[in-house]
Amino acid sequence: MGKYAGQLLKADSGPLKILGNDAQIPATDIDRELIIMVVGETARADRFSLNGYPRKTNPLLEQLNVASFRQVRSCGTSTAISVPCMFSNDTEKDYETNTAKNKENALDVLVHAGVNVLWRDNNSSSKGVADRIPYQNYRDPNINPVCDLECRDEGMLVDLQDYIDSYPDGDIMIVLHQMGNHGPAYYLRYPKEFEKFQPVCATNELSDCSQEELDNAYDNAILYTDYFLSKVIGLLKKNDPKFETLMLYVSDHGESLGELGLYLHGMPNLLAPETQRHVPMIVWVGDNFTHFNNTDLQAQQDQAITHDNIFHTLLGLMEIESEAYLREMDIFHMYH
């Protein structure tokens, strides 16, 4: 616990370590890629009906022929650890917050290769991942046009087509960082029309709620993520003729909802229950994607994956050639 706290508090102001400045897209890659990565927040894999949860929390995604990877573990149990870790080329074993702040990540490598990269955030921040790329804060109602009690994730999609159209050449990588299921006020994480499961826990004092009310509020937020991801796929489908399109969704960490008397998240990995580490990952690919299709991916849904794989998978999807890329760490290496 002391080591964990020390990593969070320790700061290192050393020089930035450049990573993958040899990155390039081979001349043989003549197709343009458009990839949208959705970084989820506090979502548990076992609350997705795509993964066998009896409640229909994914009614829209179930109709969209997605692949839902069922054995994915997070790098940590908090946003501050997991988000930068998943974009780092350090493994969970080697990752340290203080050194990661001063080293480039997967998005920097994509920029080195000439990819157009954008980060839109409806959460607290990118935790340093987007420090060197275009960043837009969608928790601001002056920017996000879809706000009621709070600004909604779907607001990040407004005018996104205009951004895509502004780049007539080159590959495009867009990261959308959700508010998702951020607790403890799960009931605020979705518009009222998504309150399908009732009654709900309408307070951030979880001890004042029954288990049923807590589960209902949490599941309604998953239902809203289902809607949001379906909208992301809808946007990508509109761009299918011009691009090879793909959506990658993966949550930063899970959540305890009363199991073992625990709530929320943030426990050190050594002590954290599975509910805080087992996260959903969903992939959808468009018809023009040449390397694999959704049926291919569905056959791979039970492979063991961790956040360690994300760095190399992003480079592989963009067909990046670099010494920083390790093919065996790419989730989809068998198709390259």
Q: Please give the residue that has the higher pLDDT: either 313 or 101.
A: 313
> pTM for this one?
0.96
Residues in the chain, how many?
A: 336
Closest by Cα among 312, 252, 240 to 278: 252
Q: Per-residue confidence at 6, pLDDT binned at 50, 70, 90?
A: low
CA distance 134 to 238: 24
Q: Which percentage of the chain shows pLDDT scores above 90?
A: 93
pLDDT digits (tens, 9 = 90+) for 267-320: 999 999 999 999 999 999 999 999 999 999 999 999 999 999 999 999 999 999
Single-letter code of the amino acid located at 87: F
Which domains are delineated in the chain?
22-335 (3.40.720.10)
The pLDDT, as a whole number, for residue 308 is: 98
Q: Residue with structure tokens 């067909």?
A: 319
Q: What is the 3-state secondary structure (H, E, C) of 309-332?
A: HHHHHHHHHCCCECCCCCHHHCCC
Q: What's the chain's Rg over C-alpha atoms?
A: 19
pLDDT digits (tens, 9 = 90+) for 171-210: 999 999 999 999 999 999 999 999 999 999 999 999 999 9
Q: Which percentage of the chain shows pLDDT scores above 70?
A: 96
User: Is-contact 153 228, C-beta < 8 A?
Assistant: yes
DSSP label at residue 24: B
Would the pLDDT of 5 be above 90?
no
Q: Per-residue confidence at 13, pLDDT binned at 50, 70, 90?
A: low
Closest by Cα among 251, 241, 236 to 64: 236
Q: What is the dihedral of CA 98, 131, 129, 229, to 10 degrees?
A: 160
The pLDDT, as a whole number, for residue 336 is: 78
Residues near 93 by beta carbon (within 8 Å), at least 6 away in sequence: none
CA distance 97 to 266: 15
User: Kindly report the CA angle at 34 between 317 and 325, in degrees rounded to 5?
Assistant: 25
CA distance 176 to 45: 19
